[in-house]
Amino acid sequence: MTKQLYLLRHAKSDWNLPVSDHERPLNQRGERDSLAIGKWMQKNRLIPDCIVSSHSARTRETIMNVCLNLEFDSMDIYWKEELYHANHMVLLSESIKFLNKYNTVMLVAHNPGLDGLVEYLCPQDELSYTGDSKLMTTASFAQIALPADTNRITYQSGHLLQLKRPGDLS
């Protein structure tokens, strides 16, 4: 049996408020997209065993909206300060810690770290970039299959099963 890593980038945030980057909330589009991705995840039975997330306001709001549709137990959400603007190797390290305990982990974080993690774990021919060379646009969801033995999770050891962006859902 393989492990599953779900990656979710926070939804679109509101840049018009006089708050710190860490405290920026979602804008209307972010609210709509995060609810839609949660509904899509529920419809496709993509329910993680646990969620590991950056502790920024926009990631917290994204998760709360996604979980409205998943009926997910908030006791299985882990808020990690070190994921706030972390690089791909920090994201990988945190993911592996939780994949040692759970079969399916959802990591919610920021770019460029998430793009870097997908590029590190998956073969290049499985990747689908946008016109402006992004993988994980806001509120994007990636499903990656990984080796069951977490010691074997290395460069290009995963397979990108799907990458859904909010625009793909309509």
pLDDT in tens, 127-138: 999 888 889 999
The SS3 assignment for 128 reads coil
Q: How do residues 134-159 score in pLDDT, each as one tens digit?
A: 899 999 999 999 999 999 999 999 99
Q: What is the mean pLDDT of the chain?
A: 94
May I ask the CATH architecture of the domain 3-168? 3-Layer(aba) Sandwich (3.40)
pTM of the model: 0.95
Residue type, 152: R
* Side-chain-side CA neighbours of residue 39 (13 Å): 9
Q: What is the pLDDT of residue 1?
A: 65
Structural domain boundaries of the chain?
A: 3-168
pLDDT (mean) for 109-113: 97
pLDDT (mean) for 76-89: 96
Number of CB atoms found within 10 A of residue 111's CB = 17
Reported confidence tier of residue 28, pLDDT bands at 50, 70, 90: very high
For every residue of 15-79, DSSP letters joined together read: TTSSS-GGG--B-HHHHHHHHHHHHHHHHTT---SEEEEE-SHHHHHHHHHHHHHHT--GGGEEE
